[in-house]
Amino acid sequence: MAAKRKAQQASEGSKQAILEAVLARAAEVGYEGTTMAEVARASGLPIGSVYWHFQNKEQLFVALLDYCFEVWKQTNASVDGMRDFVRRSISESAAASASVADPAAAFWSIGLVFAFERRLEDNLARQRYLAIREEMFEFVTSRRRASYPEVPEDIAAELAHDMAVMGRAFTDGFRVAAAAGDDTDFARYAELAADALESLVATRLKEYTHD
C-alpha cells in the first residue's frame, strides 16, 4: 500500500508540474505556440510522461482550463459584494492578464482566443472554455442573487443576471485592453465600473419599490 501511495503521489506531482509548465508556456506563446515537447522541457519530465497523462494538446489544455477555473473559484469564494468582485476582476485579474508574471490571470485572456477562433469550433479545449464561461456566469449570478434578500425572486434573478452580464463584459473588455497594451488605469476604471453597476442596481431597486 505504501509503495502504491508513493507512486500515486509521484504521478500527481508530475501532473502538477506539467500543468504549471503549460500554464507558464501558454501565457508566453498562447495555445498555437505551445507544443507537447516544449511542455516536457519546461516541466523537466520526459515527453513520454507528458503523453502518459495527456494524449494530446487539446486534452492538456482542457486540464489546464479546469485547473485555472479551480484557482479562480478559490480566489473568489470569499469575495464579499459586487464592488469587491469587480475590483478584483478588473484591477487585479484583467490588469495582470497581459503579464507572464501572473500566468493564472494571463490564461483567461488566452482563453478568449478560443471564443474568437471559429476554426477551433471542434477543439475540445474551446468547448471546455465556453462551458467554463457558463459555469463562471452561474457562479457570479448565484452570488449576486443572494445580495438582494428583500427583493422578490424574479426581480432578484433579473438583477443578478444583468449584473453578471455587465460584469463579464467589463472584465473581457479590460482583458483585451491589457493584451493590446492600452495605457489604462485599471484601478480607476474598476472603481468607475463598480460605481456604474451599483448605480444601475439602485435605480432598478428604486423602480421596484415605486411600482
List alpha helices for 92-209, DSSP H. Answer: 95-96, 103-116, 124-145, 153-180, 186-209
Residue 48: pLDDT band (50, 70, 90) is very high
pLDDT value at position 4? 42
Residue 1: pLDDT band (50, 70, 90) is low
Summarize the confidence of residues 128-147 as an average pLDDT: 91
pLDDT value at position 98? 81
Summarize the confidence of residues 79-87 as an average pLDDT: 85
Statement: residue 33 has pLDDT above 70: yes
Residue linked to cell 492578464: 97
Statement: residue 126 has pLDDT above 50: yes
114-149 per-residue burial string, b: 16 or more CB within 10 A, e: under 16:
beeeeebeebbbbbbbeebbeebeebbbebbbeebe
Identify whether the C-beta of residue 94 lies closer than 8 Å to the C-beta of residue 104.
Answer: no
pLDDT value at position 5? 46
Residue 52: pLDDT band (50, 70, 90) is very high
Residue 136 CA to residue 142 CA, distance in Å, equals: 10
Q: Which of 38-52, 148-162, 197-211 shows the lowest per-residue confidence on average (mean pLDDT)?
A: 197-211
Residue 174 CA to residue 180 CA, distance in Å, equals: 10
Average model confidence (pLDDT) for the chain?
Answer: 87
Statement: residue 117 has pLDDT above 90: no
Summarize the confidence of residues 57-65 as an average pLDDT: 94
From residue 78, alpha-carbon distances to 3, 67, 85, 92 in Å are: 38, 19, 10, 15
pLDDT value at position 81? 82
**CA-based nearest residue to 187, from 174, 201, 206, 168:** 174
